[in-house]
A and B are shown apart, each in its own frame.
Chain A
Amino acid sequence: MKTRVPSLILGRLFIALITLTIVSFAVFFATTLLPGDTATILLGQSATPEAIAGLRTAMHLDEPALLRFLYWIVGLFQGDLGTSYANHVPVATLIGGRLLNTLKLAGLTTLVSVPLALTLGITAAMWRRTLYDRIVTIATIGIISVPEFVIATSAVLVFAVYLKWLPALSFTYDVNSFSGLLRAYAMPVITLTFGVSAQMIRMTRAAVIETLNTPYVEMALLKGASRPRLVLRHALPNALSPIANAVALSLSYLVGGVIIVETIFNYPGIAKLMVDAVSTRDLPLIQSCAMIFCVGYLLLITTADIVAILSNPRLR
Chain B
Amino acid sequence: MTNLVEIRDLRVEATTDSGRRVEILKGITLDVAAGETVAFIGESGSGKTTAAMTLLGYARPGCRICGGSVRVDGRDMVALSEKERATLRGTTVAYVPQSAAAAFNPAATIMDQVIEVTQIHKLMPVEEARHRAVALFRALSLPNPDSIGDRYPHQVSGGQLQRLAAAMALIGDPKVVIFDEPTTALDVTTQVEVLRAFKDVTAKRRIACVYVSHDLAVVAQIADRIMVLRHGEVQEIGSVDDILHRPAHPYTKELLHAFHPDGGGRVVPTTTSHTEPLLDISMLSAGYGPPQPNGKPLVLAVKEVSLQVKPGTNLGIIGESGCGKSTLARAIAGILPACDGTIQFNGRDLWQSARQRSREQLRDLQIVFQHADTALNPAKSIEEILGRPLTFYHGLRGKARDARIDALLDMVRLPRALRHRRPAELSGGQKQRVNFARALAAEPKLILCDEITSALDTVVAAAIIDLLKELQRELGLSYVFISHDLSVIEAICDEIVVMYRGQTVETIIPAERQEPQHPYSRLLFSSVPKLDPTWLDTLDLDADRMRLA
| Cross-interface CB contact of A313 among B106, B120, B121, cutoff 8 Å | B106
B116 touching A238 by the CB < 8 A rule? no
Which of chain A's residues have a CB closer than 8 A to the CB of B94?
A: 222-223
Q: Measured between C-beta atoms, what is the minimum distance from A210 to chain B in Å?
A: 14
State whether the Cβ of A88 lies closer than 8 Å to any Cβ in chain B: no
A215 touching B99 by the CB < 8 A rule? yes
A220 touching B105 by the CB < 8 A rule? yes
B56 touching A237 by the CB < 8 A rule? no
A224 touching B105 by the CB < 8 A rule? no
CB closest chain-B residue, reference A236: B107
Which of chain A's residues have a CB closer than 8 A to the CB of B91?
A: 224
Q: Mark A220-237, 1 if CB is under 8 A from B, else 0.
A: 111111100100011001
State whether the Cβ of B319 lies closer than 8 Å to any Cβ in chain A: no
State whether the Cβ of B155 lies closer than 8 Å to any Cβ in chain A: yes
| Cross-interface CB contact of A215 among B102, B107, B117, B154, cutoff 8 Å | B102
Q: Mark B134-168, 1 if CB is under 8 A from A, else 0.
A: 00000000000000000010110000000000001
> Cα distance A234–B152 when bound, in Å?
14
Q: Which of B104, B116, B168 has the most CB of A within 10 A?
A: B116
Which of chain B's residues have a CB closer than 8 A to the CB of A215?
A: 97, 99, 102-103
A224 touching B89 by the CB < 8 A rule? yes
The B-contacting residues of A in range 191-221, CB under 8 angstroms, are 214-221
State whether the Cβ of A150 lies closer than 8 Å to any Cβ in chain B: no
| Cross-interface CB contact of B116 among A214, A217, A218, A223, cutoff 8 Å | A223
A224 touching B90 by the CB < 8 A rule? yes
| Cross-interface CB contact of A222 among B90, B99, B108, cutoff 8 Å | B90
Which of chain A's residues have a CB closer than 8 A to the CB of B86?
A: 224-226
Q: Measured between C-beta atoms, what is the minimum distance from A159 to chain B in Å?
A: 44
Q: Measured between C-beta atoms, what is the minimum distance from B130 to chain A in Å?
A: 17
B107 touching A224 by the CB < 8 A rule? no
Counting contact residues on chain B (CB < 8 A from A), the size range is 20 to 34
Counting contact residues on chain A (CB < 8 A from B), the size range is 20 to 34
A224 touching B154 by the CB < 8 A rule? no
Which of chain B's residues have a CB closer than 8 A to the CB of A316?
A: 152
CB closest chain-A residue, reference B104: A216
State whether the Cβ of B95 lies closer than 8 Å to any Cβ in chain A: yes
> Cα distance A237–B107 when bound, in Å?
6
> Cα distance A311–B107 when bound, in Å?
8
State whether the Cβ of B40 lies closer than 8 Å to any Cβ in chain A: no
> Cα distance A220–B114 when bound, in Å?
10
The A-contacting residues of B in range 80-114, CB under 8 angstroms, are 86-91, 94-95, 97, 99, 102-108
Which of chain A's residues have a CB closer than 8 A to the CB of B103?
A: 215-216, 218-219
A313 touching B152 by the CB < 8 A rule? yes
A222 touching B102 by the CB < 8 A rule? no
B56 touching A222 by the CB < 8 A rule? yes
Which of chain A's residues have a CB closer than 8 A to the CB of B179?
A: none
Q: Which of A225, A311, A312 has the most CB of B within 10 A?
A: A225
State whether the Cβ of A22 lies closer than 8 Å to any Cβ in chain B: no
> Cα distance A222–B88 when bound, in Å?
9
State whether the Cβ of A1 lies closer than 8 Å to any Cβ in chain B: yes
Q: Measured between C-beta atoms, what is the minimum distance from A237 to chain B in Å?
A: 4
B117 touching A238 by the CB < 8 A rule? no
B87 touching A224 by the CB < 8 A rule? yes
State whether the Cβ of B345 lies closer than 8 Å to any Cβ in chain A: no
Which of chain A's residues have a CB closer than 8 A to the CB of B87?
A: 224
B107 touching A238 by the CB < 8 A rule? yes
Q: Measured between C-beta atoms, what is the minimum distance from A168 to chain B in Å?
A: 48
State whether the Cβ of A314 lies closer than 8 Å to any Cβ in chain B: yes
Which of chain B's residues have a CB closer than 8 A to the CB of A229?
A: 120
A238 touching B58 by the CB < 8 A rule? no
B116 touching A216 by the CB < 8 A rule? no
Whether A222 touches B95, Cβ cut-off 8 Å, given contacts A216-B103, A216-B106, is yes
Whether A314 touches B120, Cβ cut-off 8 Å, given contacts A219-B95, A222-B89, A223-B90, is no
Whether A1 touches B155, Cβ cut-off 8 Å, given contacts A222-B56, A224-B117, is yes
B102 touching A216 by the CB < 8 A rule? yes
Whether A224 touches B121, Cβ cut-off 8 Å, given contacts A214-B102, A219-B97, is yes
Q: Measured between C-beta atoms, what is the minimum distance from A140 to chain B in Å?
A: 24
> Cα distance A214–B56 when bound, in Å?
18
Which of chain B's residues have a CB closer than 8 A to the CB of A214?
A: 102
Q: Which of A223, A225, A312, A314 has the most CB of B within 10 A?
A: A223
> Cα distance A237–B86 when bound, in Å?
22
| Cross-interface CB contact of A223 among B60, B99, B168, cutoff 8 Å | B168
B102 touching A223 by the CB < 8 A rule? no
Whether A223 touches B117, Cβ cut-off 8 Å, given contacts A215-B97, A215-B99, A314-B152, is yes
Q: Mark A302-313, 1 if CB is under 8 A from B, else 0.
A: 000000000111
Which of chain B's residues have a CB closer than 8 A to the CB of A313?
A: 106-108, 152, 154
Interface residues of A (CB under 8 A from B): 1, 214-226, 229, 233-234, 237-238, 311-314, 316
Q: In the complex, given contacts A224-B88, A313-B108, what are 10 additional A-B residue pairs having Cβ atoms less than 8 angstroms apart?
A: A216-B102, A217-B105, A220-B116, A223-B168, A225-B116, A226-B86, A238-B105, A238-B106, A313-B154, A314-B154
10 tightest Cβ-Cβ pairs between the two chains A and B: A224-B89, A215-B102, A237-B107, A219-B103, A224-B90, A223-B90, A216-B105, A222-B95, A224-B86, A313-B152
